[in-house]
Amino acid sequence: MARKSDREDYFSGRCILVNGPVIVGAGPSGLAVCACLRKQEVPFVILEKDDCIASLWKNRTYDRLKLHLPKQFCELPFIPFPHNLPQYPTKHQFIGYLESYARHFKIDPRFNESVSSAMYDETCGLWRVKTVRRNESGVEYICRWLVVASGENAEKIVPEFQGLDEFQGHVTHACDYKTGEVYRGKRVLVVGCGNSGMEICLDLCHHNATPFMVVRSPVHVLPREILGKSTFELAVTLSKWMPLWVVDKILLSAATLILGNTQKYGLKRPCLGPLQLKNSGGKTPVLDTGTLSRIKSGEIKIVPGINKFLHGDLVELVNGEVLEIDSVIFATGYTSNVPSWLKENELFSGDGFPNGWKGKAGLYAVGFARKGISGAALDAIKVAQDINKLWRNETKQKSHSIGVPCHQRFLIGTVGTDRSIEFGYISNHLDLEFTPVLLNLFFCQPDLGVSDYT
């Protein structure tokens, strides 16, 4: 809750009062929410910290990336993928789909605006979302509803190791890896055995590098397809009729027949089956796209965890073995950054993941269910329907109280030298410089909304 003493600092500078929700994040989740709101004719503002939509896909993925799931499981609401695209579209095809989607629904994010703080002010019953713009002063958005769609992959995870600062080789994260061409002829240590780590190792092989993959924990590796059918699609179908543990047994039996015993090659399987593990802890199984055959042939070498980095280009493993390495790539994943800016501790836990899609006081979350893009699309539909119902009820009440159309309820105001307030209509949003006069006018009298002064 915002304290009264915080207001003057919080409302200093430019503020925009939004006639609808503020959405944080212009990735697939945020775009899906916008499209659903557009269908409901609910106005919104969407904020994006980077200079483009889907910046993770555009700027922080490797060139050879393809969707690991069939395209029908990666569609956003209302618009399917074009029929001429392959079953597993490339990242460039997926980005093209998202850009076309944004154009179709006239989604115009406010780019280069990073949210520094968001808090609910119980005094005025509104969310206050403070942003920082590149090379400009900050802006604060005042709204009734806040949708967090920044996703579970907002910030990279880089583990700490003794001696890493003194390592003389090249060190990078998977988000900065583009192609194995620059590693040709190099000995590369890839830390992490998820889908990204596996594919980076495969790409390194294609460019005549020598990859060593660090595998510290058990991991499920499944074939991408079983009997010509997508493994994911098969799992979804079977899960409708069978318990997860039964589906897991079927998947693991098929995986053993197709891939063999992965433990022989240093890839021990977890005790829980792949679907049970995903459902309980969010850990995604690896869908093999050719990496396992390179592991079997010895082109990709599996090594245990890192103990420490030694002088020069040497790395000591937990088993005492010392490797001479030219480069290190951390394929160690990403995490949510929500706890760093959202001043709320009920919907979102300390790890940055919410306990559902709806919280209190108009707070929503989309894209955190660990169910991929299809899960985010379903959440977006629910969130938009809920906001639409509330927005229409509130708009109807306020419109009746002032007798003007809802699209003309918000005013733009400036304070003159004589401290009078001059107003002019602006559609959907109220954009103004807040001063103590306007503070008292709009927020220190919670029973009087903006519409009462039109």
The domain locations on the chain are 4-154+336-442, 157-218+285-332, 220-283
For residue 264, the model assigns a pLDDT of: 93
Q: What is the pLDDT of residues 340-397, one digit of tens each?
A: 899 876 787 776 677 789 899 999 999 988 788 999 999 999 999 999 999 998 877 6
For residue 153, the model assigns a pLDDT of: 82
Can you name the CATH fold of 157-218+285-332? FAD/NAD(P)-binding domain (3.50.50)
For residue 453, the model assigns a pLDDT of: 24
For residue 72, the model assigns a pLDDT of: 94
Same fold, 4-154+336-442 and 157-218+285-332: yes
- Say which residue, 418 or 137, is predicted with more confidence: 137
Q: Is the pLDDT assigned to residue 442 strictly greater than 50?
A: no
- Write the DSSP string, 203-228: HHHHTT-EEEEE--S---EEESEETT
Q: Are 98 and 25 in contact (CB under 8 A)?
A: no
Give Cα 43 to chain centroid, integer Å: 22
**Minimal CA–CA distance to 323: which of 305, 344, 337, 340?**
305
Query: What 3-state DSSP class applies to 435?
Result: coil
Which residue type does 205 have? C
For residue 399, the model assigns a pLDDT of: 52
Our CA dihedral for 219, 224, 227, 230, rounded to 10 degrees, sits at 120
For residue 152, the model assigns a pLDDT of: 82
For residue 227, the model assigns a pLDDT of: 87
Q: What is the pLDDT of residues 287-310, one digit of tens each?
A: 999 999 999 999 999 999 999 999
Which residue type does 300 have? I
Neighbours of 29 (CB within 10 A): 30
Taking residues 394-403, report their average pLDDT.
58
DSSP character for 131?
A: E
Q: Is the pLDDT assigned to residue 426 strictly greater than 60?
A: no
Q: Are 358 and 367 in contact (CB under 8 A)?
A: no
Q: What is the mean pLDDT of the chain?
A: 84
Q: Categorize the per-residue pLDDT at 404 as very low, low, confident or very high, splitting at 50, 70 and 90.
A: very low
Q: Is the pLDDT assigned to residue 106 strictly greater than 70?
A: yes
List Cβ neighbours of 222 (8 Å cut-off, separation of 6 or more): 231, 251, 255, 259, 274, 285, 286, 287, 288
- Say which residue, 73 or 336, is predicted with more confidence: 73
**pTM for the structure as a whole:** 0.84
For residue 398, the model assigns a pLDDT of: 58
Q: Is the pLDDT assigned to residue 416 strictly greater than 60?
A: no
150 vs 154: CA distance, rounded Å: 6
User: CA angle, 352 as apex, 390 and 332 as ends, to 5°?
Assistant: 140
Can you name the CATH fold of 4-154+336-442? FAD/NAD(P)-binding domain (3.50.50)
For residue 450, the model assigns a pLDDT of: 32
- Considering the chain, what percentage of its residues have pLDDT values greater than 90? 68
For residue 356, the model assigns a pLDDT of: 82
373 vs 98: CA distance, rounded Å: 12
Place of tokens 């919280």: 359
Out of 62-66, 223-227, 311-315, 400-404, which region has the weakest mean confidence (pLDDT)?
400-404
